[in-house]
Structure 1
Amino acid sequence: MKIRAAVLEEFGQPLVVQEVDLAEPKAGEVLVHLSACGVCHTDLYTASGADPTGYAPCVLGHEGAGVVERVGEGVTLVRPGDHVITLFAPECGACVHCLSGRTNRCVAIRDQQGLGYLPDGTTRLSRGGEPLRHFMGTSTFAEYTVMPEIALAKVSSEAPLEGCAPFACGLSTGIGAALYTARVEPGSVCVVFGCGLVGLGAVIGARLAGAERIVAVDLSAERLAQARHHGATDTRIAGDDTVDWLRSETGGFGADYTFEATGNVQVMRQAVEAAREAWGMATMCGVAGKGETLEIVPRFLITGRRVTGSSFGGVKGRTQVPQLVDRWLAGEIDVDALISHRMSLDDVERGFELMERQDGIRSVITF
């Protein structure tokens, strides 16, 4: 079938919205008619050429939501008409990682997915007879996509699909970092560095976990106001004195949990140093640039601080994303406040520009 899609032709160049071909789903695959797709920093990161694992040409996009249109042979997890959220982090339920219960890092299709292919090593996207690779196994900057059934989360049909899109990456990553990676305890003190969608998600997750004090740190007063709306009890304009201030606010010890959601290695270091002596946990959610490293003074670790990373918030996609959507429907998460711009596929570059200017929280493409 012919579809319109935004293609990354060359790194550092604007995406080109054009007509491409999409083949029918094969065994274990699903054709999804997309309704909405968030414009995420990871898409911009890859388009810029900064991602060492990036490839071109490909159809970008990974924060999608839509309706199942057709299924391939043997598909049992979804059926036509189901509302689904796309998952760049699949959940097969049977691999060594899925069975461990300690991680969401499913390995069932990782190798081919990382190369831009579906599990059988081929693509369903093409142009002029030449294959186009899939981005993160999703390629949701398009009217339709074909994906493995284990990479789709079936959600309530009552949830507006426009609001479902952010759960495909940024929002789930932040909420999950607090609930599933750090496992924030009730009554604790949390600090969130960076109040984009992931950081605001961490604020929400800390609130849902029952944190007593949630401090949001950012350079933007507007984003700090958003953080208060979503549950932050305190806000602070970021600066060189941030760690000293946080310690002074916590009896000299630091926070029980800190979350970094900027991708800036200097801020990552602040997140480590702001974590409480003896048991503080610093969770890294941001993606640093190519070749960058995080320097940590060993004394901060010897005295009891822990440092961990969080991929997709530790969320098991097929199992837990629907649960998060249900919490939205129950009124516990204000998704509408997070969607700041709505646009067509033709405006995808404008979505990147708004992100670079930190204008709003999340732009969503609607089809």
Structure 2
Amino acid sequence: MKMRAAVLEQFGEPLVVQEVDLAEPKQGEVLVKLHACGVCHTDLYTASGADPTGYAPCVLGHEGAGVVEAVGPGVESVVKGDHVVTLFAPECGECLHCRSGRTNRCLAIRDMQGDGYLPDGTTRLSRDGAELRHFMGTSTFAEYTVMPEIALAKIDKAAPLDGASIFACGLSTGLGAAIYTADVQQGSSVAVFGCGLVGLGAIAGARIAGASRIFAVDLAAGRLEMARHHGATDLIDPSKLPEGEDAVTAIKALTDGFGADYTFEATGNVGVMRQAVESAREAWGLATMIGVAGKGETLDIVPRFLITGRRVTGSSFGGVRGRTQVPLLIDRWLRGDVDVQALLSHRITLDEVNTGFDLMHHQDGIRTIIGFD
């Protein structure tokens, strides 16, 4: 079939919206008509050429939601008409990692997915007879996508698809980091560094988990106010602190000198990551790294902060098991636990996809949504 898609032709250049070909789904695959897609920092990171694992040409996009149009042979978990969220982090339920119950890092299709192919080592995307590679196994900057069944989460049809799309990456990553990875406990104190979509998700997740105090750290007044809306009790703008003070000293001052029980870093800045470690409470503080650092960057930690009891962990997609737990997070939204619509700051068409990147460059809004309806 013919469809329109945003193609990354060359790193560092604007995406080109053009007509491409999409083949029918094969064994274990599903054709999805996309209705909405978020413009995520990971897409921009790859398009810029900064991602050492990136490749071109390919169809970008990974934060999508839509309706099943057709299924290939062997597909059992979804049927035509089901509403789904696309998953760059699949859940096969059968590999060692899935069966362990200890991680969401499914092994089933990782190698092929990382190289831009579907599980059988081929693509369903092409242009003028030449293959186009998939991105993160999803390629949702397009009117349709073909994906493995194990990389789709079936969701309640009551959930608006524009809001559901951000559960495909950013919002689930933040919510899950607090609820699943860190397992924030009721009555605890939490500090979140960075109040973009992922950080706001962590704040909402900490509130849902019952944290008594939530410190939001950001340089943008608008994002700090959004953090308050989603559950932050204390707002910290490091640029407005007295000379010689930083977010670490501010958080310690607000916690009787001890630091927060849980800290989350959602900026990708290694200097901020270090602050997240240093502002975690001695003896049991847990610092969770969510942000993606630049190529070749390293995190320096003074060993004293670890041998006195602090722990550091990472979180991939918030530890969320996509097919099992994304629907549960969306159910929380439908129950009123998360104000998703407040996070959808801009709405654009596929032809305006590069505008979505520009808005991200200028930190304008929280999440830009491409609509296909």
Question: TM class by shorter-chain length?
Answer: over 0.9
Partner of 1:98: 98
Partner of 1:362: 367
Rounded Cα–Cα distance in structure 2 between residues aligned with 1:234 and 1:352: 30
Measured after TM superposition, the shift of residue 251 of structure 1 is: 1.3
**What does 1:105-254 correspond to in 2, within 5 Å?**
105-239=105-239, 241-254=246-259
RMSD value over aligned CA atoms? Answer: 0.6
What is the aligned counterpart of 2:322 among 310, 317, 325? 317
Counterpart code for 1:302: I
**What does 1:289-300 correspond to in 2, within 5 Å?**
289-300=294-305
What is the aligned counterpart of 1:281 among 281, 286, 308? 286
Counterpart code for 1:188: S
Rounded Cα–Cα distance in structure 2 between residues aligned with 1:146 and 1:346: 21
Q: Deviations over 1:59-78 (max 9, x none)?
A: 00000000000000000011
Counterpart code for 2:350: L
Measured after TM superposition, the shift of residue 252 of structure 1 is: 1.2
Partner of 1:345: 350
Q: Deviations over 1:339-363 (max 9, x none)?
A: 0000000000000000110100000
Counterpart code for 2:35: S
Query: Residue 259 in 1 paired to residue 264 in 2?
Result: yes
Query: Residue 305 in 1 paired to residue 290 in 2?
Result: no
Q: Deviations over 1:32-84 (max 9, x none)?
A: 00000000000000000111111110000000000000000000011100000
Partner of 1:75: 75
Counterpart code for 2:267: T
Q: Which 4+ runs in 1 deviate beyond 4 A? A: none
Partner of 1:327: 332
Calculate percent identity across the aligned residue pairs.
77
Rounded Cα–Cα distance in structure 2 between residues aligned with 1:95 and 1:172: 22
Rounded Cα–Cα distance in structure 2 between residues aligned with 1:160 and 1:244: 42
Partner of 2:242: none
Rounded Cα–Cα distance in structure 2 between residues aligned with 1:37 and 1:246: 36
Query: Residue 10 in 1 paired to residue 13 in 2?
Result: no
Question: Which secondary structure state, in structure 2, belongs to the residue aligned with residue 266 of structure 1?
Answer: helix
Query: Residue 65 in 1 paired to residue 79 in 2?
Result: no
Question: Which secondary structure state, in structure 1, belongs to the residue aligned with residue 142 of structure 2?
Answer: coil
Rounded Cα–Cα distance in structure 2 between residues aligned with 1:85 and 1:248: 42
Measured after TM superposition, the shift of residue 238 of structure 1 is: 2.6
Counterpart code for 2:192: V
TM-score, normalised by the number of residues in structure 1: 0.99
Give the aligned length. Answer: 367
Measured after TM superposition, the shift of residue 242 of structure 1 is: 1.0
TM-score, normalised by the number of residues in structure 2: 0.98
Counterpart code for 1:237: D
Rounded Cα–Cα distance in structure 2 between residues aligned with 1:242 and 1:33: 45
Structure 1 residue ranges without an equivalent (≥5): none
Rounded Cα–Cα distance in structure 2 between residues aligned with 1:144 and 1:83: 14
